[in-house]
Amino acid sequence: MAKHYIPENLPSRIQHYIGGELVDSVSGKTFDVLDPVSNQTYVTAAAGQAEDVDRAVAAARKAFTEGPWPGMLPRARARILNRIADAVEAQDARLAELETFDTGLPITQALGQAQRAAENFRFFADLIVAEADDTYRVPGRQVNYVHRKPVGVAGLITPWNTPFMLESWKLAPALASGCTVVLKPAEFTPLSASLWAEIFRDAGLPDGVFNLVNGFGEEAGDALVKHPDVPLISFTGESATGQTIFRNCAAGLKGMSMELGGKSPAIVFADADLGAAIDSTLFGVFSLNGERCTAGSRILVERPVYEEFCTRYAERTRNIVVGDPHDPATEVGALVHPEHYEKVMSYVELGKSEGRLLAGGGRPSGLDTGNYVAPTVFADVAADARIFQEEIFGPVVAITPFDTEQEALSLANGVKYGLAAYLWTSDLNRAHTFAQSVEAGMVWLNSHNVRDLRTPFGGVKASGLGHEGGYRSIDFYTHQQAIHVTLGAVHTTRFGVQKGQS
C-alpha cells in the first residue's frame, strides 16, 4: 500500500482572489478537492458562479482602465515579473510538494515544473524590455510604425496535469503585455494556484491586475468565456471542451488561443540510435504519469527493428518504479482523480482486445488504493484501433510496425490530432523531409520534448488554434496598431471644388 504523505500547513479552505482580496463565492457554494493517493477530501474550494466571474472581471477591467499597469514602462513591469520569478524559485521545494500532493506527479518532476514556471516569468520580462516594433519609411514622404497596446482583460483557463507551470505559461506573457487577467484553474487541482495571490501581492503587482476564480468549467469557465468584458480567451485542455469554447467565443468575436489534445507519434526508423530512441520514447509517454498533451503515445517502428524494439521497450517498462509520488525514486505516481483513473483503465481493458499486451495492463501489485496504473504497453496495434486513435492521457502506449516511409507518414498523420511528433533516424535528408510532411505543430528530431521558449507552441487539426511562445504570445495579448505619419506636403484629390476654383 502506498505511503500517504500529507504536507504540513495545508489550507483549511481555498477561496477566490478578486481585486486584491480573498473572498468566498457570493452563493457560498463550495466543492471538495481530493488527493489522488487516498482519494479523500483534503480541502473545500469556493465554487465560482457567474456572479463571482462578474466581480473578478469588473476588478480586472477597473485595473486595466484606471490602474497603472497597462501604461507602465516595460522595464517597470519587467522588475515585477522578475520579483515573481524570484519568489517562485525561493519556494520551489514547497511548490513541488504541494503540486505532487494535489496532482500525484512524481516529486522530482514537479520540482522541474516549479523551476520552469520561474523561467517563464524571467523570459517574458526580458522579452518586453528588448522588444522592438516595425517601422516602415517612405523617404521624404511618410513614416509608418506599429504601436502595441494590451488588449484588455484576458481570460485564462488552465488544465490539471501540470497546473502551476501551465498557469505561469499564460500569466507571464499576459501580464508582461500589460493585460489584466482572470484565471480559472482546473477544479481537480486548485491548490498550487492559490499561491499566486501572495506571490503577486508581495512582488508589487497592483490589486485587480490578477484575479482568480475557482470552480467548474461548466459554471465559472463558461461564464468567463461568455463575459462581454473579456475580449480574449487562452485555453489549454481537451479538444471537445475547446470546440465548446470556440462556439461560445463566436458571439463576442473574441480572440482565442487554444492548445488542445494530442495523440502524438514517435517514428523510429531502423537506422536510428535504438538505445536513445528507447530512452526518449519511454520518457515521452511515461513522464508526468502520461498525463501530458505532447506524449508520444503512438510509437511507429520500422519492421527490421520492430521486435527488438518491442522486447527492449517492454522490459524497461516493467522496471519503471510506480509508487508514492513524494518518494524521489518514483518515476510514475498516481493519476490525478478517480474519474480520470476510470477513464484510463477503460482504455487499458479495451487495449487487451486491440493489441498484444507486453507490459502492465492493470493496477500495480502492492498499491491497492489510490489512482495507480501500471505503465502499459500494447504492440501490433492497428491504425483503426481506438487506443491508436483516441487520446488516453495516461501511462499507456501503442506500438505499430511500418515497412515504408510512406506508410509511416500515413500512420503518423492518420489521426484527428496534430500537436507534436518525434522522429528518430540517422538519415539527415529523411529527417527534414519527413518532419516537414508530418501534420503536427511541433516536431523533434532525435530528441524528446525539449523546447526553446522563443519558438511557437501549438498544434494543427484537433490539437489547437493559434500559437503561443516568444513573440507570438505578445502578439496574442496585444493589438498591433498601425500609425501613419505624413512628412511634408500631401497631394490629395480635392472633392467638392468646382473647376477653376482654388
Residue of 392, 374, 279 lying closest to 323 (CA atoms): 374
Please identify which of the residues 179, 249, 293, 310 carries the catalytic annotation. Answer: 293
Catalytic residue among 259, 354, 391, 468: 259
Residue 18 burial (CB count, 10 A): 26
Kind of pairing, strands 30-34 and 153-157?
Answer: unpaired
Note every long-range contact of 106-112, with CB atoms under 8 Å and residues 24 or more positions apart, other chains counting.
Answer: 106/289, 106/325, 106/327, 106/330, 106/331, 106/332, 106/333, 107/325, 107/326, 107/327, 107/328, 107/330, 108/328, 108/330, 109/287, 109/288, 110/325
138 DSSP β-pair partners? 142
Report the alpha-carbon angle 50-55-60, nearest 5.
120
Residues in the chain: 502
Spatial contact of 27 and 51, defined as CB atoms under 8 Å apart: yes
End-to-end CA distance of the chain: 96
Cα dihedral sign for 396, 184, 105, 85? Answer: positive
User: What angle is formed at CA 350 by the lines to CA 321 and CA 458, rounded to 5 degrees?
Assistant: 70
From start to end of 160-249, where are the E strands?
Answer: 180-184, 210-212, 232-236
Q: Is 259 labeled as catalytic in the residue annotation? A: yes
DSSP-H helix ranges across 67-147: 74-90, 92-103, 107-130
- Strands (DSSP E) contained in 374-434 are 376-379, 396-402, 420-424
| Phi, psi dihedral angles at 424 (to 5 degrees) | -120, 115
Q: All 3 cell numbers of residue 91? A: 519556494
CA dihedral over 343, 464, 252, 59, signed as positive or negative:
positive
Q: Which residues are catalytic?
A: 259, 293
